[in-house]
Amino acid sequence: MEKVLIVDDDEGLVHFLRRFLSREGYTVESCSRGEQALEVAGRESFDLILLDYKMSGMNGLDTLRELRRLQVKTPVIIMTAYGTTDTAIEAMKRGAYDYLPKPFERDELKRLVADALTVNHLMKEVVSYPDAGPKPAEQGRAARIIGSHKRMQAVYKLIGQVAGKDVIVLITGESGTGKELVARAIYHHSHRKDKPFLAVNCAAIPETLFESELFGHERGAFTGAERVHLGKFERCDGGTLFFDEIGDMPLGTQAKVLRVLQYGEFERLGGTETLKANVRIIAATNKNLEREVEEGRFREDLYWRLKIISIELPPLRERHEDIPALVRHFIARFSEEYDAPIRYVDEAVLERLQAYPWPGNVRELENCIRRAVLLSQGDMILPEHIQLVRDGTAASPGEERGSVFERIERKMDELFPDLLRAVEETGSGDMLEILERGCIIRVLGHCGQNQVKAARMLGISRNTLRLRMKKFGITGSPSE
């Protein structure tokens, strides 16, 4: 559970923030002075600090400076009155993640906290790879890039060669091959690792908001711009900016990004002041950028600017020998996450996984193993726990041939044909219904009663899930 530290001498605001953040699922601690914050942050690890600017004793700006001097990497959100936004922006230039003007809206608070916690995860969870060498103990549990195939060995070599150099890196590969992991590995093994790492999903930002997201805007720059907003370039000064799916960046924005890459300069929307940012760019795409250039959807000058160093990730179907190691890694991770006793994998499972083409690459394999760990009742992953989309064992549109329940029935027919025949002859169906009911209850529990996720995991439609819940007398919230 993520931990948030509130630093404010306003007891009423602290009480509100405690209740609000606790209801969002965070562990919350608080103190009323900057000096106390330094002491607490020096002995405990937090995922986010909400820091008021104006306090008795040490103010927020001084507290932030001391936190950074102590090498506390935790994102800091400065809370400030409307009249002191210039001070808050100055604090951001000195290392704060963002600022929150008082009084603030709950939705804005919720969004900003979630964004900052995402950044904290990206910065603190170190990504390791086989050639990375020993990691300092304080970096904690690291994410890992898995694979010993010769093409992956070439990837590790390139990461090692470019991580310590301030060059632009372009990472290419199909969706699900691990492009973000490679970007984070480069960041974590660079000299910028103590500075921000911010990710921009170019495929997820509406075109009308893209420039504001990257370059920021002044108050009144457009309808709804009620305060100065610092964009990713300004907030990431000294750090690393990761453009995920850069092939989806609008052409107009591409021209302005090219200017930043060439001169390190930009302006906020609605502003006239030229700002500078020292940012390292790592970009990733699943598109063929050369083809995008030929068809006029991507700027040729930006393409050549990005393609100084290129790292290509192979699809999983071209390195099947890495699948057993990936499976073991995911089982260990999800067994810990879900407190499941999984220790073994049936050989038939590995054979089946290695024979599958994996259109969704490593991400699809990860989801497959997550689901298998959730559904396994013992200490072994068995063939009936595996659902593959393109080999006829998963639901097709209008069909549910691959549902967990039908695979349970097939397995019982295989192992206990006489017993299943007796069940059919009596018309009771009790044994199968007991298995179905138990399976639904367990999956709903693991999905937090989210029926959409549970139905997807079970391989059935949500309507079918609701009908079976009603049939078996299972109650649960209709959460999305």
Residue 375: count other Cβ atoms within 10 Å of its Cβ.
Answer: 23
Q: How far apart are CA 75 and CA 425, in angstroms?
A: 64
Q: Please, which residues have CB within 8 angstroms of residue 289's CB and are 6 or more apart in sequence?
A: 170, 172, 247, 298, 303, 306, 307
239 and 367, same structural domain?
Answer: no
Q: Which amino acid makes up residue 369? A: I
pLDDT by residue for the chain (480 residues), tens digit each? 799 999 999 999 999 999 999 999 999 999 999 999 999 998 899 999 999 988 888 888 899 989 988 878 899 999 987 656 677 778 877 788 888 888 888 998 999 999 999 999 888 888 988 865 544 433 445 688 999 999 999 999 999 999 999 999 999 999 999 999 999 999 999 999 988 999 999 998 988 889 999 999 998 888 878 788 889 999 898 999 999 999 999 999 999 999 999 999 999 999 999 999 899 999 999 999 999 999 999 999 999 999 999 999 999 999 999 999 999 999 999 999 888 889 889 988 999 999 899 999 999 999 999 999 998 888 899 988 998 876 544 433 333 334 555 555 555 555 555 555 555 555 545 666 777 788 888 888 877 888 877 877 776 767 678 878 888 888 765 444
Based on the domain organization, do 218 and 304 belong to the same domain? yes
Among 314, 348, 365, the domain boundary falls at: 314
Q: Is residue 410 a part of any domain in this protein?
A: yes
Residue 358 resides in a domain: yes
pTM score: 0.75
Six-digit token string for 74: 């935790």
- Give the domain extent around 197: 140-314
Question: What are the beta bridge partners of residue 100?
Answer: 79
Residue 116 sits in the same domain as residue 194: no
Answer yes or no: is 134 within a domain: no
Does residue 135 fall inside a structural domain? Answer: no
Question: Whole-angstrom Cα distance, residue 424 to residue 429?
Answer: 7
Domain boundary among 314, 331, 352: 314
Q: Are 352 and 386 a contacting pair, CB within 8 Å?
A: yes
Q: Could you tell me if residue 87 is inside a domain?
A: yes
The three-state DSSP-derived secondary structure of 291-323 is HHHHCCCCCHHHHHHHCCEEEECCCHHHCHHHH
Same-domain pairing of 360 and 459: yes
CATH of the domain at 74: 3.40.50.2300
369: left (phi over 0), alpha (psi -120 to 50) or beta: alpha
186 and 158 in a common domain: yes
User: What's the confidence (pLDDT) of residue 412?
Assistant: 53
| SS3 per residue for the chain | CCEEEEECCCHHHHHHHHHHHHHCCCEEEEECCHHHHHHHHHHCCCCEEEEECCCCCCCHHHHHHHHHHCCCCCCEEEEEEHHHHHHHHHHHHCCCCEEEEECCCHHHHHHHHHHHHHHHHHHHCCEECCCCCCCCHHHCCCEECCCCCHHHHHHHHHHHHHCCCCCCEEEECCCCCCHHHHHHHHHHCCCCCCCCEEEEECCCCCHHHHHHHHHCECCCCCCCCCCCECCHHHHCCCCEEEEECHHHCCHHHHHHHHHHHHHCEECCECCCCCEECCCEEEEEECCCHHHHHHCCCCCHHHHHHHCCEEEECCCHHHCHHHHHHHHHHHHHHHHHHCCCCCCEECHHHHHHHHHCCCCCHHHHHHHHHHHHHHHCCCCEECHHHCCCCCCCCCCCCCCCCCCHHHHHHHHHHHHCHHHHHHHHHHCCCHHHHHHHHHHHHHHHHHCCCEHHHHHHHHCCCHHHHHHHHHHHCCCCCCEC
pLDDT of residue 1: 79
Tokens standing for residue 119: 């950044």
- Domain membership of residue 480 (yes or no) is no
Q: Does 299 share its domain with 206? A: yes
| Cα dihedral 466, 468, 472, 474 sign | negative
- The pLDDT assigned to 390 comes to 61
Residues 162 and 280 in one domain: yes
- In sign, the C-alpha dihedral spanning 184, 188, 191, 195 is positive
In degrees, rounded to 5, the angle at the alpha carbon of residue 158 between the alpha carbons of residues 157 and 164 is 105
CATH number at residue 242: 3.40.50.300
In one letter, which amino acid is 471? K
Q: Are residues 325 and 276 in the same domain?
A: no
Q: Which of 314, 347, 372 is the last residue of a domain?
A: 314
**Whole-number Å distance between alpha carbons of 31 and 14:** 9
What is the pLDDT at residue 414?
54
Question: Domains in the chain: how many in total?
Answer: 3
Instruction: Say yes or no: 152 and 294 in one domain.
Output: yes
Q: What is the CATH number of the domain that holds 373?
A: 1.10.8.60
How do strand 3-7 and strand 48-52 relate by DSSP bridges?
Answer: parallel
Indicate the pairing of strand 3-7 with strand 27-31.
Answer: parallel
Q: Are residues 144 and 289 in the same domain?
A: yes
> Quick one: 150 and 282 in the same domain?
yes
Give Cβ neighbours of residue 151 (< 8 Å, ≥ 6 apart). 314, 318, 319
Any domain includes 101: yes
Amino acid at 325: A
Looking at residue 400, its pLDDT comes to 37
Q: Shortest CA distance to 91 belongs to which of 234, 274, 216, 272?
A: 234
Q: In 3D, which of 86, 84, 65, 386 has the Cα closest to residue 76? A: 65
Residue 143 pairs in a beta bridge with 127
User: CA-to-CA distance for 265 and 251, rounded, in angstroms?
Assistant: 18
Flag whether 348 is in a domain. yes
Residues 299 and 354 in one domain: no
* Burial class of residue 36 in the structure, from the number of CB atoms within 10 Å of its CB (0-12 exposed, 13-18 middle, 19+ buried): middle
- Per the CB < 8 A criterion, the answer to whether 159 and 185 are in contact is yes
